[in-house]
Chains A and B, each alone.
Chain A
Amino acid sequence: MGLEFLNDHGASRVRPYPNQPELEPSDEPDESGAEGGGEEEQVDHAYELEGLPWQPIDVTRSEVEWSEAPKRFIDGCHVGRTIAWLQDARGHPVPLMLAEIGGVCVDRESRDLRRSFEVIERVVALAVDPFLWHEVEDFAIALADSGFRLLPVSLIKVEGRRERVASFDFEVMRKKAHNRSMEEMGVLEEVALCQHVEIPTVVDGRLEPRINSDSRLQRCPIIGVVKQQRKDYLHPEGWRVYLRLEPARRTPAFLIRSAGVPVVSWYLKLEGDRNTLPNWGVVRVEIAQAYFERIGKDFSQINRLSHALYQMRCRHATYGRGPVSLEPIVWAEKKLRALFSQPTWLAQHFYRLTGL
């Protein structure tokens, strides 16, 4: 059957369109890549101050030690969309997401940035379970021969049932495909991360999804910088300090205990003045507890690191996420994106191959 699989199942093209609301809220995680995750976590707010009152901490009082500051910056990029949809035998919609995904590492050498590693793939994310396995097998072989990797998308878990099920809500199915593709991008980011784990490295986002798979990574100098805050880790006293933060100030560090990757974390304000929102320009920074305690639980290093991150903040007013971004990460994404194909060309190429 091969690439005819799509036509044989009545696939048709889909134009670009804004994401639609779901019929009912699903448990599917948000697509933004922001923090989240359903794992059980416990927060120890006394980790740094051991019961003393919380105050904002001015990180500029600690000189940056550029020899210990982050030298590597990891980012991932995902450019893709739902370009077609088909239906299974029971009539459920099955969206097909075509994407180019990649992971990149940028090295800081003195004041210069240099791309040191990149990995890029073309993927097709599709829920294949509603179809016969031998048809899917032929399709996967034909895709591989054409330079695309098939990412099987899981169906929806229903409590009390062993098997997963498809949904009639197109948006739920589309989100599943998108998240599968994003998950694979995270794997490519991990590849970029693992090239030199002994060198201090910043990753764009939470540590847990990136270093959970290999316990050795938890003992390495890897720093997660989370731009979008979706979880409440602070107690009321912590929130009061958070809302009073000035640029280059941080909250005291707290410990987030979890089954996966326990992390030492704090909030750092990169940008903002009197007229901005109180939560404007704040990032949450994470390092693995195992690493932090291996190097002697030195809180002055958190100040030096925070000062270094503050120095690396993005200062481009035109960049939308600038207030919570680091310049090397913005640069990394730009360099990786430049290596991708034009999305329109890629979609047309796929349509030609599959006869859609």
Chain B
Amino acid sequence: MITPADEAEWIAEAVRRSFGNAELPWPPQASGPARLNDLISSYNLVHEEVFGLNYAAVSARLQHWEIHWDDFPRTNPPDLAGFLYANAVCGFIFVRRDDTVPRRRFTAAHELGHYCLHLTPELLSLGQDGVGLVAVDEDVFEAEAASVLARERQANRFAAELLMPEPVCRNLVDRYSGKYGRVPRFLIHQIAGDLLVSREAIAWRLWTLNLIDELPRWLSRHEDVAPVEDQLS
């Protein structure tokens, strides 16, 4: 059984590898959003944004790339937040275009997390037989603890570390606190803007990194979950 510390290190290492793969510096410079587009493109992955993303839309988009994937439930196709298809030679990330930009970025990073952490090792073990694997996300929550399912939690943590790297968060909090004092609302607004992530996502991130003392009330009213470390212990 993997310990929380081992899991955190495994994910952090995967994120560092992704930055290296894209020839981006680690730790990243604390100015502006993470270059997620470059990070995804450094793998042999295509990403697309699709209005009303569902199984049928995914199948149609894959068909466009001459990949036949129609092994999906045909009744009441759910609305999907994100979808990942990968085989031994290429992969495709689809995100729901109807979501906000910060949320779409988080979902895309989450799918990249599935690719790096889960599908790539499975594909390696299967060899070059052309099999395609998928990860389906009906919804992606930007709080890394929101899912108790291990794979979802791990992909969330990967996305959080990729878009809001711990050293960057610490640098930004130090920089702003040094100038203006530690004002939680300011930190949340400012760093969410700096990193092009949602306020919900950065509030959770800063809280789990102990960089703010309490979750804002507007967030704690909506999210009734404990931090990931609590769930694993």
Which residues of A line the B interface, CB within 8 A? Answer: 119, 128-129, 131-134, 136-138, 140-141, 144-145, 149-152, 154, 162-164, 184, 187-188, 190-191, 194-195, 212-215
Contacts and interface: CB of A to CB of B under 8 A. Distances in A.
Contacts of A214: 183-185
B44 interface: no
B181 A194 contact: yes
Interface of B: 31-33, 35-37, 47, 49, 95, 98-102, 104-105, 108, 179-181, 183-186, 189-190, 193-194, 196, 216-217
Given A133-B101, A151-B193, A194-B186, 10 more contacts: A133-B108, A137-B196, A144-B32, A150-B196, A152-B193, A163-B98, A191-B183, A213-B185, A213-B216, A213-B217
Q: A140, A162, A190, A213: which has the most chain B beta carbons within 10 Å?
A: A213
7 contacts: A133-B105, A140-B32, A141-B32, A144-B33, A149-B193, A152-B196, A162-B98
A258 B189 CA distance: 24
A200 B72 CA distance: 64
Contacts of B181: 191, 194-195
A214 to B, nearest CB: 6
A134 B93 CA distance: 13
A141 B180 contact: no
Given A133-B101, A133-B104, A137-B105, A190 B183 contact: yes
A133 B185 CA distance: 25
Nearest to A142: B32
Contact of A129 (B100, B180, B184, B186): B100
A133 B49 contact: yes
Contacts of A138: 37
A121 B108 CA distance: 30
A190 B104 CA distance: 30
A215 B102 CA distance: 28
B102 A152 contact: yes
B109 to A, nearest CB: 10
B80 to A, nearest CB: 13
